[in-house]
Amino acid sequence: MPALAPDSGVEDRFGTRNRVARLILANGPSTAADLAVRLGLTPAGVRRHLDALLAEGLVEAREQRVYGQRGRGRPAKVFALTGTGRSVFHHTYDDMAIDALRFIAENGGESAVDAFARRRFSGLAERYRELLAGAKPAERPKLLAEALTADGYAASTRTTASVPVPGKPVIEGAQVCQHHCPVQHVAEEFPQLCEAETQVFAELLGTHVQRLATIAHGDGVCTTFIPGLPAKNQTSPTQVTPSEQSEGASA
């Protein structure tokens, strides 16, 4: 695993390189221009650090996903951490985030943690709102999954239906499955992050949703059930039992 110098606060090339990677970890896939603004550097200066991170296999370049009407020219590149990059940086970042949330809870109470969680996901809601607003309800789960995947959540959709049981209604709907959670270790202690994300999904999809499983609680996948909506062009149609619906199984 590549060893990077610790962030000493000195504007040397290793300290700035670490800051670039940690900004990507905190904010998801980012353009060089976005990183330059956050760091107070020129885009050319940031690109030199990105080139070094690319060479070490810590970040990868992707084509930026464009929401709404695409303008002329090629979309800007965004840079995302690779699995190796996450393993290098996530532990320190998680520890810092957990300490910060503990401080908020001690000084402001649980309501302050709730407000922080809502604030964190409000940015995600704003970025996705335009994409989903003009789509038909049946198309929204797939579009949401695509947007989440572009931001590093490795999401997919599928249609589900409960097995018919005498005296009980068949529950049909769609599932959005997130196979990666960037804040897994933080959410293990502060489930308000999962709750705020679920609320944002309900607002974006325009309907009630139910969180069946979360990686933070030991499940393999974060699974959100949208009753009554098919997952148009889903990746893996399936059928689940009523007990699986209630227990949140999402294999």
Same domain, 113 and 181: yes
Q: For residue 6, is pLDDT > 50?
A: no
Predicted pLDDT of residue 229: 63
My answer on whether 241 and 142 are in the same domain is: yes
Give residue-wise pLDDT tens across range 80-118. 888 777 777 666 667 888 899 999 999 999 999 999 999
Q: How many domains does the chain have?
A: 2
pLDDT value for 53: 93
pLDDT at 207 over 80: yes
Residue 97 lies in a domain: no
Does pLDDT of 119 surpass 70? yes
The whole-number pLDDT of residue 10 equals 36
38 within a domain of the structure (yes/no): yes
Q: What is the pLDDT of residue 68?
A: 45
Q: Is the pLDDT of residue 5 over 70?
A: no
Domain boundary pick from 54, 89, 124 = 89
**pLDDT reported for residue 75:** 64
**Residues 137 and 207 placed together within one structural domain of the fold:** yes
Q: Quote the domain boundaries for residue 85.
A: 13-89
- % the chain with pLDDT above 90: 31
Rounded Cα distance, 117 and 197, in Å? 8
Same domain, 113 and 221: yes
Q: How many CB atoms lie within 10 A of CB 116?
A: 18
Residue 24 has pLDDT above 70, yes or no: yes
CATH value at residue 18: 1.10.10.10
Question: Residue 239's pLDDT band (boundaries 50, 70, 90)?
Answer: very low
Confidence of residue 65 (pLDDT cuts 50, 70, 90): low
- Among the listed ranges 1-5, 46-50, 91-95, 208-212, which one has the minimum average pLDDT value? 1-5
Report the alpha-carbon distance of residue 7 to residue 127 in Å, rounded.
30
**Whether residue 67 sits in one domain with residue 143:** no
Q: Report the C-alpha gap between 228 and 158 in whole angstroms.
A: 13
* 158, part of any domain: yes
Q: Are residues 236 and 115 in the same domain?
A: yes
- Residue 12 scores a pLDDT above 70: no
Q: Where is pLDDT greater, at 134 or 205?
A: 205
Domain membership of residue 98 (yes or no) is no
113 & 75 share domain: no
Are 184 and 83 contained in the same domain? no
Cα 94–chain centre separation: 15
Say whether both 165 and 203 belong to one domain. yes
36 and 117 inside one domain: no
Q: Are residues 115 and 71 in the same domain?
A: no
Q: Identify the top-confidence range among 14-23, 44-53, 119-128, 157-166.
A: 44-53
pLDDT at 41: 92
Residue 84 resides in a domain: yes
Which of 69-73, 97-101, 201-205, 225-229 is predicted least confidently?
69-73
